[in-house]
Structure 1
Amino acid sequence: MTHANLVVDTARATGFLSRLPVPDHFFEGHDGSLTKASRAFPLAGVVVTAPAGLALALTLGLGLEPLVAAMLAYAVVAMTTGALHEDGLSDAADGLGATRDRERALTIMRDSRIGSFGAAALILSYGLRASALAAIAAVIGPLGALSIFLAVAALSRAAMVWHWRVLPPARTDGLAVAMGGPDGASALFSTVSAAAIAVVLIGVAAGPLHALGAIAAAAAVTAGFSRYVRKRLGGQTGDTIGATQQVSEIAALLALALLT
């Protein structure tokens, strides 16, 4: 793997995970598969959330209350990503919460309308992430909060790749199938690179114990959620992949809030 290939993969992953403009030449001759580009999900996560992270640091530096600054940061994330992962979380929550029947759950998850479980999941996700980030920012300041924000973005995108890799498709069609699953090398690179980003960024901002705590929390919740999804649905969907990003990010932020 060359640096040039990694840049291309990061650009393609950024184009998939966000609404940020990516030059067309990165997609020339590309078949649309994310098998290789998935290795760059953590790096793309940093790119995608950088505007929100800068907004977080700026508003905190100007003296805005940490909770308000955190909520604004997540508003920017919603704009840059199109709330892609939140959509997956709400659909997964509706399907998994409304019924124990596998086929019925998969049908509900394909319905674009949001139900009570999906709405509750979104409220809890935004509330927990913003309040945990605010608690962290109140202690370590604007630059530390920026570092942690970007590190958690990388970790949670690696969690998506891991979930996608270890579970078979729950359907024979759908976005996750059409895009192709990550291969073993891509999943390994994604995991190692995300851990390295977390160790550096969180370690500098808060210390190595905090970095290890965030990694452990994200890994544990991702493994537990993946096991639950396997039991309920028999495999992953695009919605459960998005939901994995959300629950792993929540876990990492809560662990950091407890340790800070």
Structure 2
Amino acid sequence: MSRPGALRDGVRLATGTLTVLPVPAPVTVDREAAGRAMALAGLVALLPGSLVALVGWAGSALGAPPLLVGAVAVGALAWSSRGLHLDGLADTADGLAASYDRERALAVMRTGDVGPIGAATLVLVLLAQVACVAALVEQPLLSGAAVVVSRAVLALACASGVPAARSDGLGAMVAGSVPRWAAGSAVLLAGVVVTLAALASGTPWWSGPLAAALAVLAAGAVLVRCTRRLGGITGDVLGALVEVSLAATLAVLATAA
């Protein structure tokens, strides 16, 4: 049975963790609140997604160079989440490349230092995102919808049965905390959002479901790799999943547009 206030705490936790918006602290931070927060991540992403769409619209209206618009939009998105997901992507890449020893890989990820593999991964993923947003400068709703999809995959990454790599930290708090039906519903809702954005932007309707499906596949591939290699998820792994799925979603939408 759900405790009173769990939904409120989940909304506060999701907003405070995934965005820069100042919100009251949750009254209680437990696994139930964490599960609600991860299930609501896609919904909360409407806020940074709207920011990305607004930057794209303004850049198009001003006639700014598409690559510049893409860079500003991706930079604004990073700012809106305090660079949390980008940090996770770099740390995860370094950890996976560091050693075949699980404990050594987790230790590398915990240090927070960015090594050559992490830096290269970060640059390549950001380049892909900027290029795709630049290609979608005339359809800014699609870029905003891609943000929603990328955050919705957090619900899948934290679905029941997904283990934590450590006994402490964000990963331990959220791993397995989202019921599978709620995780599936979150992704389905994000798919509806991106499909509606495709229809409103005059692009093929099928690009929305395809983009959402590829985002899930890309995130799933990384999740399986990290689970086998590290023993489960960490906060850094969640950040990596967000950035990889964002790139995958944008790639489909930019190609279809």
When normalised by structure 2's length, the TM-score is 0.89
1:172 maps to 167
2:187 maps to 191
- The CA distance in 1 between the partners of 2:55 and 2:251, in whole Å, is 21
Task: Give 1:59-208 correspondences, 5 Å limit.
Answer: 59-137=59-137, 141=138, 144-145=139-140, 147-165=141-159, 166-179=161-174, 181-205=177-201, 206-208=203-205
The one-letter amino acid of 1:98's match is: A
Deviations 1:106-157 (A, max 9, x none): 11000121111111111111100000121232xxx1xx22x11221111111
The one-letter amino acid of 1:223's match is: G
SS in 2 for 1:167: coil
Distance change in 2, residues 1:7/1:66 (3 Å)? farther
Match for residue 250 of structure 1 among 230, 237, 247: 247
**Cα distance, 1:208 vs. partner?**
1.0
Q: Which stretch shifts more, 219-228 or 180-189?
A: 180-189
Q: Which runs of 5+ in 1 are unaligned?
A: none
Distance change in 2, residues 1:8/1:57 (3 Å)? farther
Q: In the alignment, does 2:55 pair up with 1:55? A: yes
**Large movers: runs of 4+ above 3 Å:** 4-12
Task: Give 1:205-224 correspondences, 5 Å limit.
Answer: 205=201, 206-224=203-221
Deviations 1:218-248 (A, max 9, x none): 1211221122112211211111111000111
Q: Which runs of 5+ in 2 are unaligned?
A: none
2:29 maps to 31
**Cα distance, 1:179 vs. partner?**
4.8
The one-letter amino acid of 2:19's match is: S
Q: Which stretch shifts more, 83-92 or 170-179?
A: 170-179
Distance change in 2, residues 1:252/1:52 (3 Å)? closer
